[in-house]
Each structure stands twice: as C-alpha cells, then as structure tokens.
Amino acid sequence: MSKSILILKGSPREKGNSAVLADQLFAGAKEAGAKVESVYLHGMDIQPCDACDVCQNGYEGCIIEDDMQSLYPKITEADAIVISSPIYWFTISAQTKLCIDRWYALECEEKKTLRGKQLGIVLVYGDTDLYTSGGINAIHTFESLARYVGMDIAGMVYGTAWQLGEAEKQPELMEKAFKLGAKLAV
C-alpha cells in the first residue's frame, strides 16, 4: 500500500528556500508512489497551546477551535511527517513551533499517536554552517522530540540559503531533498 506523507511548511515565504526544498521532497515522494500533502502553516489559524491539560485528562483531542482541528486527522493518518522550517533566531520558526506545541493533544498516557511514524526534516539558514546559524538547535529539538514520542528520523536536509531563490541554485541540496522524499515513500 502506498505511504502517506504530510509536509508541514513552516516559513511565511510561500516560495522561500525551505518551501522549494519541501516541494522537491514532495516530487521525490510522489514519483516513488506516495500520497503526499503539503500544508502552509503561515496561512492557517494556529493558536498557541494554552496548557489547559484537558487533552491529558480524558478528552479526545484539543478543545481549541482553530485550524489544528483539520490538521490533527492528517497528522494522525500520515505514515510520515515532514517539517520544513527556516531558522529564525537560532531555531525553528514560530509558525513551526506553534504547530508542534499543539501535538501535545496527540500524546498522553493512553494515546501515542506519533509513535512509529517517520519524521523528515528540512532546514534552511542564512549563516554559513549548522552551528553558527543555530540549525543545530533545531536538530537537537527534533532529536529530543523523536526520542520522546517514538518517531523515527528518516533523514534531514539542511543548508545555507538566505535570499529567495538561493536553495534552487544548489543542485546537491535539491537532490538530497528529492531523495529524502523517495526514501519516505517506501
């Protein structure tokens, strides 16, 4: 059966560098036979988790009535989730973090929705390397997250690109994104 992949795009730049790489990943996954959907988080109403803890105490889901309600079933049904984010202030973008915080409602004693799913990561930063850019902080976050919820990190694609259009001028980076898509599809 074909794999289903959900790509969460965390940049406000709809045609930005992380989005271009996410689209490459999409193409690689599609060509390899996966069912792929891409979501532009910046265009959605996603409120911050307010730590009401209702989701941890028997309520099935999150009580905040916003666009996460349509995203929860997609996350639940996906075999693989891909997060593509720019690095902002040495970590993931606020849009990405808002969404991930709300995954709280998918995880509690009785409910381990994310366990066993694949996780793909796409990160783009303006600085020259993973450390000075803060990309490493984002990677640590995803490693901790994956360990905690029991997801498997299938691969990460990251690199330097600042202005619009800089990622697509890097064939190696584009190829890596395409290949990660293909890997997630099998």
With CB atoms as reference, the residue minimizing the distance to ligand FMN is 16
Determine contact, residues 22/82, Cβ cutoff 8 Å: yes
Q: Which of residues 134-163 bind ligand FMN (CB under 6 A)?
A: 134, 161-162
Identity of the residue numbered 164: L
Give the list of residues 6+ apart from residue 7 with CB closer than 8 angstroms, or none.
Answer: 22, 25, 26, 36, 37, 38, 39, 81, 82, 84
Distance from C-alpha of 103 to C-alpha of 107, rounded to nearest angstrom: 7
Determine contact, residues 52/63, Cβ cutoff 8 Å: yes
Residue 72 binding ligand FMN, by CB under 6 A? no
Distance from C-alpha of 40 to C-alpha of 118, rounded to nearest angstrom: 20
Least Å distance, CB 21 to ligand FMN, is: 8
Q: Which of residues 10-49 bind ligand FMN (CB under 6 A)?
A: 11, 13, 16-19
Nearer to ligand FMN, 64 or 87 (CB): 87
Residue 118 binding ligand FMN, by CB under 6 A? no
Residue 95 binding ligand FMN, by CB under 6 A? no
What residues line the site for ligand FMN (CB under 6 A)?
11, 13, 16-19, 86-90, 124-127, 133-134, 161-162
